[in-house]
Chain A
Amino acid sequence: MKVLVPVKRVVDANVKVRVNADNTDIDTANLKMAINPFCEIAVEEAVRLKEAGVASEVVVVTVGPKASQEQLRTAMALGADRGVHIETEETLVPLSIAKLLNAVQQKEQAQLIILGKQTIDGDNNQTGQMLAALANLPQATFASEVKVEGDKLAVTREIDGGLQSVAVTLPAVVTADLRLNEPRYAKLPNIMKAKRKPLETLSIDDLGVSLKQHQTVLKVTPPAERQGGVMVASVAELAEKLKNEAKVI
Chain B
Amino acid sequence: MATLVLAEHDNASLKLDTAKVVACGHAIGAEVDILIAGHECAAAVESARQLAGVRNILVADSAQFAQGFADNVSQLIVDLASDYEHILAAASSQGKDTLPRVSALLDVAQLSEVVEVISTDTFVRPIYAGNAMATVQSLDAKKVLTVRSSSFDAVANDGAANVVAIDKVYESLTQFVSQSLTESERPELGAASVVVSGGRGMGSGENFAMLEQLADKLGGALGASRAAVDAGFVSNDLQVGQTGKIVAPDLYIAVGISGAIQHLAGMKDSKVIVAINKDPEAPIFQIADYGLEADLFEAVPQLLELI
Binding site for B on A (CB under 8 A): 11, 13-14, 16-19, 26, 93-95, 98, 117-118, 120-134, 137-142, 144, 154, 157-169, 177-179, 213-223, 226-227, 229-232, 234-236, 238-239, 241-243, 246, 248-249
Contact = CB atoms under 8 A, between A and B. Distances in A.
A223 B129 CA distance: 11
A221 B229 CA distance: 32
Nearest to A92: B109
Interface of B: 67, 69-71, 74, 92-94, 96-105, 107-113, 122, 126-140, 173-182, 190, 194, 218, 226, 229-230, 235-237, 242-243, 245, 250-251, 261-262, 268, 271-274, 285, 287-294, 299, 302-303, 306-307
Given A94-B100, A95-B104, A124 B131 contact: no
A164 B179 contact: yes
Nearest to A243: B307
A118 B244 CA distance: 12
A220 B103 contact: no
A248 B126 contact: no
A49 to B, nearest CB: 20
A16 B287 contact: no
* 5 residue pairs, one from A and one from B, having the closest CB atoms: A214-B109, A129-B100, A138-B173, A133-B104, A162-B181
Contacts of B179: 159, 162-165
B175 A215 contact: no
A141 B94 CA distance: 10
B286 to A, nearest CB: 8
B80 to A, nearest CB: 16
A162 B136 contact: no
A234 B101 CA distance: 52
B135 A154 contact: no
Given A158-B236, A160-B190, A238-B292, 9 more contacts: A26-B132, A125-B96, A126-B110, A129-B104, A157-B93, A221-B132, A222-B133, A235-B306, A246-B289
B131 A215 contact: no
A122 B126 CA distance: 8
Grouping DSSP codes into helix (H, G, I), strand (E, B) and loop, the A interface class, with mixed when no group exceeds half, is: mixed
B127 A158 contact: no
A225 to B, nearest CB: 9
Given A95-B108, A220-B133, A235-B299, A167 B289 contact: no
Best-buried of B98, B108, B289, B302 by chain A (most CB within 10 Å): B289
